[in-house]
Amino acid sequence: MSPGPSAITLGTPELRGILRIVEDCEQAPTLPVFRQTALEGLSRYLGYRHAAFFVGSSLERAFQDRDPAGHGIGLRMADAFQERYRTLDSFVEPADLSTMRERGLLTLEEFGPPGRPEIRLYLQRFLKAHGIRAKMLVRLTTPAGVGGFVSLSDPRPGAFGPRDRAVCAVVGRHLGNLLRFHTEALPVPSVTTKLSVRERDVVRLVAEGCSNRQVAESLCISVDTVKHHVRHAMEATGYANRTQLALAWQREVGAATAGAPPPATPD
C-alpha cells in the first residue's frame, strides 16, 4: 500500500513552490484571476502543466461549473467537455464523490469500474482521445456552501504518485482557504455571470431576435449546438423558455439591446 500524503516529508523546492503559489494567489483581485493564477503557479512552480479549476456551491455542483479555468490540455479540452461530457465525468459516481470527500484526492486508478456505458465512452472518447492517461482530482478545503477542486491531467500513465499526492494535499488546503475570501465577496449571480462565454454569445444573439439557424451561422456552429447552449442557459438561470431568457438578458445589458426585436421562435 502506498504511503498516505501525511506520511511523506516534502522537500525545500516543493515547499518553496507551494509558498510562491500562495503568495501569487493572495494578490489576485477577483475569482477568475485567482483561479488562473493558481493554475499558472501549479505549472510554473510545481510542474503540473495541464489543469483545470472548478468552483460551485458544493462539490457536486463544482462538477457542473460552466466556465472553469484551464491551463494546458485543460484549457484546450474545455469546450468539448462543456458541450458533450460535463455530466459524464467518471469521478461523479456517488462512491467516488464519497472517497474524494474523505481523502481529498482521487486518481483514475482509484475509482471502480464505470457503472454506466456513457462513462466508459467518456473515458475512451474524451480522456484518451485528448491523450490523457492519468488524472487526479484535488478537493479544496472550503467552508460550507462552497465547493471546489483542481483537476490535474497528464499524458503519462500513473503519472501521479505518493509525492504528488502529498504536494497536492497541502495545495488543496491553501487554495481552499484563499477561495473562501473570493466566494464570500461574490455578488448575487446575474444572468450573464451564470453563463459560459459561448452561452453568452448564443443568448446575446437570441435576445437580438436571431433564430437558431441565424445564431449557428453567425457563430459557425451547428443548430443542434445552439439548441444545446440555449437549453443549458435556461437550466443555469432557471428560466422556463428562451423568451424569458432573452428578456432577462435585455434587462441586464440595457441600451445595448434596447432596440432589438422580440426573440424569434426556434427553428
The pLDDT assigned to 35 comes to 94
Q: Is 70 helix (H, G, I), strand (E, B) or coil?
A: strand
Which pairing describes strands 147-154 and 105-107: parallel, antiparallel, or unpaired? unpaired
- pLDDT bin (cut points 50, 70, 90) of residue 171 is very high
pTM of the model: 0.63
C-alpha distances (whole Å) from 180 to each of 6, 118, 128, 148, 246 are 24, 34, 34, 10, 33
The pLDDT value given to residue 120: 60
Q: What is the 3-state secondary structure (H, E, C) of the chain?
A: CCCCHHHCCCCHHHHHHHHHHHHHHHCCCCHHHHHHHHHHHHHHHHCCCCEEEEEECCHHHHCCCCCCEEECHHHHCHHHHHHHHHHHCCCCCHHHHHHHHHHCEEEHHHCCCCCCHHHHHHHHHHHHHHCCCEEEEEECCCCCCCEEEEEEEECCCCCCCHHHHHHHHHHHHHHHHHHHHHHHCCCCCCCHHHCCHHHHHHHHHHHCCCCHHHHHHHHCCCHHHHHHHHHHHHHHHCCCCHHHHHHHHHHHHHHHHCCCCCCCCCC
Q: Domain locations in the chain?
A: 5-184, 192-257
Its CATH class, for the domain covering 192-257, is mainly alpha
pLDDT in tens, 39-68: 999 999 999 999 999 888 778 778 777 778
What band does 260 get if pLDDT is binned at 50, 70 and 90?
very low
pLDDT for 206 beyond 80: yes
Reported as type and span, the H/E element at residue 56 is strand 51-56
- The CATH number that domain 5-184 falls under is 3.30.450.80
Q: Which residues pair with 70 in a beta bridge?
A: 52
pLDDT digit string, tens, across residues 111-161:
655 555 555 666 666 677 677 888 899 999 887 778 899 999 998 988 999
Written in H, E and C, the secondary structure of 134-160 is EEEEEECCCCCCCEEEEEEEECCCCCC
The values of phi and psi at residue 7, to 5°, are: -85, -5
